[in-house]
Amino acid sequence: ETGVTQTPRHLVMGMTNKKSLKCEQHLGHNAMYWYKQSAKKPLELMFVYNFKEQTENNSVPSRFSPECPNSSHLFLHLHTLQPEDSALYLCASSQSPGQEGSHTEAFFGQGTRLTVV
């Protein structure tokens, strides 16, 4: 176990559905991340939250909506997705970048395998 838990592990949803992915970390980190891992593509950073504030959005379509209610929890709300959004969605956490002595090593969850039909 990495200390980062993602639920659900697998999700199949229709294009008109609304669902949410959940990520929880108990490592005392203040930075959390959403990544998308597609077949034959590099790991894509989607969103970064630092102390609950979104600090990065890498041109992600609005059908993906992140939420970070506190430093331990991160959600990714999904609505009206497309089949090409099918992928493994990874959550990660780390010490906040820039903190003195921080190592910014990321700890990853096992991911949610999303299939859009």
* Site residues (vs other proteins, CB under 8 A): 2, 4, 31, 33, 35, 41-43, 45, 48, 50, 55-56, 90, 92, 96-98, 103-111
Residue among 75 and 107 whose Cβ is closer to other proteins:
107
**In angstroms, what is the minimal distance from the CB of 15 to other proteins?**
28
Residue among 16 and 103 whose Cβ is closer to other proteins:
103
**In angstroms, what is the minimal distance from the CB of 103 to other proteins?**
7
Residue among 14 and 51 whose Cβ is closer to other proteins:
51
Tokens of 110: 């096992």
Q: What is the DSSP string of 17-75?
A: -EEEEEEEE-S--SEEEEEEE-TTS--EEEEEEETTEEEEE-S--TTEEEEEEETTEEE
CA end-to-end distance (rounded Å), the chain: 31
Residue among 81 and 92 whose Cβ is closer to other proteins:
92
Q: Virtual CA dihedral for 81, 84, 88, 93, nearest 10 degrees? A: -60
**In angstroms, what is the minimal distance from the CB of 17 to other proteins?**
26
Q: What is the DSSP string of 37-50?
A: E-TTS--EEEEEEE
**In angstroms, what is the minimal distance from the CB of 33 to other proteins?**
8
